[in-house]
Amino acid sequence: MAPRSSLAAPSAPDSYTRTAIAFHWLIALLIVCGFALGWVMTDIPGFTPTKLRYFSWHKWIGVTVFALAVVRILWRATHVAPALPAGMVAWQRIAAEVVHVLLYVLMIAIPVSGYLYSSASNIPVVYLGLVRLPLLISPDPHLKAILKVVHVTLNYGLLALVVLHVAGALKHQLLDRDGLLSRMIPFLK
């Protein structure tokens, strides 16, 4: 048997690191808040101070999710995730991988589409009311309409993926009883 190279990939840990768990739950909380806020703010008629405040908060959440997602992706690229349960069938492994990749893509694409929508609407994003972010594109009513549809559609796609993700986690916890969920919620062990 050949000696193990120091360049070999590290073995998969049994659970996620505290940092990975913190990223997961913080981003999840922000996404839920941003989605709920988006839902509520768009149903408020006119341009009231409350509606404008909600739009600002929604944008701040989006910028924060984008920044955390970038850091999370970098973290994930440098840290091995726990292996999936040995008994998991191939199609479930593929589905889990596809859902996770799409979740990462949407964590980036949704804030970017919202930011571009604001730019096309000629409405600046002032992060936390302190830092004015540059408009990335010129105001354009036609592009504004397209970006609004893109932003909303991506959000509903994210909602569907989150439902799949949660359903899969619950299936593993309640039906398979394979301990998969306890890797992200350590107190379930």
- Beta strand 125-127 with 131-133 is antiparallel
Classify the phi-psi angles of 128: left when phi > 0, otherwise alpha if psi is within -120 to 50, otherwise beta.
left
79-22-16 Cα angle (round to 5) = 40
Domain ranges across the chain: 18-188
What is residue 11's predicted lDDT score, i.e. its pLDDT? 61
- What is the DSSP annotation of 129-154? TTEEEPPSS---HHHHHHHHHHHHHH
What integer pLDDT is reported at residue 8 of this predicted model?
44
Write down the pLDDT at residue 110. 98
Domain over 18-188 is classified CATH 1.20.950: yes
- pLDDT of the residue at 12: 65
> What is residue 11's three-state secondary structure?
coil
Reduced to 3 states (helix: H, G, I; strand: E, B; else coil), residue 127 is strand
| Tens place of pLDDT per residue across the chain (189 aa) | 444 444 445 566 777 889 999 999 999 999 999 999 999 999 999 889 999 999 999 999 999 999 999 999 999 999 988 888 888 899 999 999 999 999 999 999 999 999 999 999 999 999 999 999 999 899 999 999 999 999 999 999 999 999 999 999 999 888 888 877 888 887 766
- Rounded CA-CA distance 99/85 in Å is 17
**Hey, CA dihedral for 81, 83, 85, 89, is it positive or negative?**
positive
